[in-house]
Structure 1
Amino acid sequence: LWTREEKEIAIVTHCGFLYHTLNTYGKGCHPTVAEELGKV
């Protein structure tokens, strides 16, 4: 992905995978970001 010319890339994923990934790694984010992730 780093070698692509596009500046914006959409990522499509399975809801369960996304939920567990954000739940696991989202806790180390800035409080504002963590709050937004908690709404998912």
Structure 2
Amino acid sequence: EDIQKPENILESQTDTEEWKMELERVLPQLKVTIKT
């Protein structure tokens, strides 16, 4: 599984908007995975 590491997050500070969108897209899947 691809887990974002802090280093990767820091590297993509320029794409914060894109990263937020990605996060919002991935978070629901993570929650579902945790519940299951």
TM-score range, shorter chain: 0.3 to 0.5
Greater RCO structure (CA 8 Å; 6+ sep): 1
TM norm structure 2: 0.45
Question: Which has a greater percent of helix?
Answer: 2
The structure having more radius of gyration, on CA atoms, is 1
TM-score (norm 1): 0.42
